[in-house]
Structure 1
Amino acid sequence: MMSEAGGIDFLQIPLVALRARTRKVLSLGLNCTKVIPSPSGYPRDWRGLADIAKVSLPPCDNDPTASIICQWERTKSNVNDLREALKEIDRWDVLDDITEYLETDVKDYLNTSNNNDGCLQKIEPDFALTDDDVQRKEKGLGPQIYDAFLLFADEDKEFAMEIVHKLEGEYNAKLCLKDRDLLGGVSIEHEAIMRLISQRCNKVITVLSHSFCKSSVNKFFVAFAQALAIRQESRKIIPITYQNSKLDFPIQLQHYFILNYDRANNFGNFWDKLHQSIKAPVEKIREVQIEAPSNCKEIEWKSNSLPVKEWDCTKSVNKEKQCKELKVEELYTVDEACDNSSNNSAELERLKLTEAQQDSEPQSPASKLFKKTKKLFKKNKKKVPVLSS
């Protein structure tokens, strides 16, 4: 079939020839839901396009038209199929909007095909894992980074779709789902999911249920995510559950705090808490070591004070010995020693030395009382005889 302008055969042009600008116009025109169907009975929006293309409806996608085009172009569809589909769903307005862009895209595709031996664009297999990667590659952007990978059992698909609808629709989060985002033909599905979890997804949301806990595949991905968390020293797994019955959690998750849908709603908004858990930044804890400058040296502390003798109150006091030691000092005062011409200097030095030694040595309670009494009488310059027992 030939177009009206330029004589271009759209039957020979695959859908991969559509550039980002054309895809954007298609999304703007078809993403809005229409109530009145077309004369042929198809919905006049992206749902009708999905029916004609015979692709699965994208669940809770922000751009369903782009997802449909990405799925459709994996088949042997061409640009003419797209034009006929727009006519079938009675969207002539969208067809008019993209006609000029289609002609430009086809010319660019033909020029590129001639220069590259019929190959429009080579996308590295390590780069393209999801539909978003293909779209970003065409725009010259890097691979898509997701906020979280959603891991759930097939029996919990309804609750998983509610998570996607809430987080992507109301909180503008970007989630990755195996059945929705993974490209067809990717070799070794488990390996692709492991690469997405380790390189493209910041967190892993696990919807815990009886079916999930019985799945060996899900347990494997949980163990892999936990190993990444240990190696990266960060919080990777966010376990949630909507079942109040007792579950036999995997051993890797038994010590995690699990968000419970019913209990969390009793104390606030479950979705707010889940979104905050995804967006919460987690920094690695670094050990800070304080090192002394190289010019600092250790100084050994030494005390010049004399060792202090402790008084042992448990031992009996020898009163006779104490009184004999005090007889030498009881009849002399400092003034009398100075007045005595024969023993002036020698007695003074001996008296000072004896008093210093007495002050430094521990004294018994009896000697302290005796010393106080002696000082009182010395003040009046009187001599007090000491009677031996």
Structure 2
Amino acid sequence: MSSVTALSFDISNIPLVALNVNVRKKLGLFLNPRNTVAADWMSIAEIMGFSYLEITNYENCQNPTRKILEDWQARCPDAKVGKLLSILEEADRKDVVEDLRELIEEDCRKYLSWQKEPPVQVPEVDSCVPRTPERSRITLEDDPDGGMPELFDAFICYCQSDFTFVNEMIQQLEQTEHKLKLCVFDRDVLPGSCVWTITSELIEKRCKRMVVVISDNYLDSDACDFQTKFALSLCPGARSKRLIPVVYKSMKKPFPSILRFLTVCDYTRPCTQAWFWIRLAKALSLP
């Protein structure tokens, strides 16, 4: 039985866009190094149908595996997850498929769940603005040809002064066994578009939940105020636990009254710090 058919559900029709950053990075770690024994990215590109000149030009890329996946996805209607795994098997790289099996299955399940259960919203909040290119190609991993948009487990609302804690959040939630995908504006959003349009699109359509990093500076931020109020309008009465406040350091100013009815994830209490990331990860993993 091949590694592809051994997966627990059919992935033959799931588009390649379902594979998020983590899987693509790990594919690069396996395939980017030039290898005289096992097939590397050049062999994969050849099987995908890239020409000799194209493959030669990819050698100048810092991450050729990522580039060939993006280009294959853009130009080939048959660029499915199942097809990619078949190509890896054809190149005798079943080791890659086996090592990434759980991550691939997880990304595919998330993709399927998003297809069946779009983010909760109230009709009054959804605008009639058409889906222009500005609203459809806004993050690093968005399909340039208008395919499946990049999706996230949570949008992180934060001030620049709190970015050190956001960095720790990335390490604890994305780069551990939790394997969550966070939308961090300064890292994931392409520059050049209207901030308010992009933010509302991400919160409403792309992210299942929003984490609000509360601090004294948060209370003075117009951007954070807009993001919080917009997210609250999408889930009145805290329906679906969509918005999660996080306090990571002591505050001199009063806690924002607009969030007083929500359960807070508090990092300032030493007695509960050991459970902090587990509780937050569990809340963000809920369907």
Aligned equivalents of 1:247, 1:217: Cα separation in 2: 18
In the alignment, does 2:148 pair up with 1:172? no
Evaluate the alpha carbon distance shift between residue 158 and residue 231 of structure 1 in structure 2; reply closer, same or farther with a 3 A threshold: same
Structure 2 residue aligned with 1:190: 196
59, 66, 69: which one aligns with 1:83: 59
Aligned equivalents of 2:253, 2:32: Cα separation in 1: 41
Given that 1:213 and 1:248 are in contact with CA atoms closer than 8 Å, whether structure 2 keeps it comes out as no
Structure 2 residue aligned with 1:208: 214
Unaligned runs of 5+ in 1: 1-22, 33-77, 87-93, 110-122, 282-389
Structure 2 residue aligned with 1:218: 224
138, 155, 160: which one aligns with 1:129: 138
Unaligned runs of 5+ in 2: 1-23, 34-53, 77-131
Q: Where do 1:359-378 residues align within 5 Å?
A: none
Q: Where do 1:127-276 residues align within 5 Å?
A: 127-134=136-143, 142-170=148-176, 171-186=178-193, 188-230=194-236, 233-263=239-269, 265-266=271-272, 268-276=274-282
Given that 2:152 and 2:183 are in contact with CA atoms closer than 8 Å, whether structure 1 keeps it comes out as yes
1:211: Cα distance to partner? 0.8
The AA in structure 2 aligned to 1:238 is: I
Aligned equivalents of 1:230, 1:258: Cα separation in 2: 17
Aligned equivalents of 1:145, 1:245: Cα separation in 2: 32
For residue 203 of structure 1, give the secondary structure of its aligned residue in structure 2.
Answer: strand
Q: Where do 1:1-389 residues align within 5 Å?
A: 27-28=28-29, 83-84=59-60, 124-134=133-143, 142-170=148-176, 171-186=178-193, 188-230=194-236, 233-263=239-269, 265-266=271-272, 268-281=274-287
The AA in structure 1 aligned to 2:272 is: N
1:216: Cα distance to partner? 1.9
Given that 1:145 and 1:201 are in contact with CA atoms closer than 8 Å, whether structure 2 keeps it comes out as yes
Q: Which moved more, 1:261-270 or 1:162-171?
A: 261-270
- CA distances 1:144-167 after superposition (whole Å, capped 9, x unpaired): 221100111111111100001110
RMSD: 3.7
Normalising by structure 1, report the TM-score: 0.41
1:124: Cα distance to partner? 3.9
Normalising by structure 2, report the TM-score: 0.54
Aligned equivalents of 1:274, 1:191: Cα separation in 2: 28
Evaluate the alpha carbon distance shift between residue 127 and residue 240 of structure 1 in structure 2; reply closer, same or farther with a 3 A threshold: same
Structure 1 residue aligned with 2:89: none
Given that 1:219 and 1:250 are in contact with CA atoms closer than 8 Å, whether structure 2 keeps it comes out as no
Aligned equivalents of 1:244, 1:145: Cα separation in 2: 32
Q: Which moved more, 1:213-222 or 1:157-166?
A: 213-222
- CA distances 1:111-140 after superposition (whole Å, capped 9, x unpaired): xxxxxxxxxxxx944322211222xx66x9
For residue 262 of structure 1, give the secondary structure of its aligned residue in structure 2.
Answer: coil
Aligned equivalents of 2:271, 2:170: Cα separation in 1: 18
The AA in structure 1 aligned to 2:136 is: F
Aligned equivalents of 2:162, 2:276: Cα separation in 1: 17
Is the radius of gyration larger for structure 1 or structure 2? 1
The AA in structure 1 aligned to 2:59 is: R
Structure 2 residue aligned with 1:117: none
Aligned equivalents of 1:254, 1:174: Cα separation in 2: 27
Higher relative contact order structure (alpha carbons within 8 Å, sequence separation ≥ 6): 2
1:27: Cα distance to partner? 1.9
1:141: Cα distance to partner? 5.2
- CA distances 1:27-85 after superposition (whole Å, capped 9, x unpaired): 235889xxxxxxxxxxxxxxxxxxxxxxxxxxxxxxxxxxxxxxxxxxxxx99886346
Aligned equivalents of 1:242, 1:232: Cα separation in 2: 21
Given that 1:148 and 1:205 are in contact with CA atoms closer than 8 Å, whether structure 2 keeps it comes out as yes
Given that 2:238 and 2:262 are in contact with CA atoms closer than 8 Å, whether structure 1 keeps it comes out as no
The AA in structure 2 aligned to 1:127 is: S
Aligned equivalents of 2:228, 2:256: Cα separation in 1: 8
- CA distances 1:327-356 after superposition (whole Å, capped 9, x unpaired): xxxxxxxxxxxxxxxxxxxxxxxxxxxxxx
Q: Which 4+ stretches in 1 moved above 4 angstroms?
A: 23-26, 29-32, 78-82
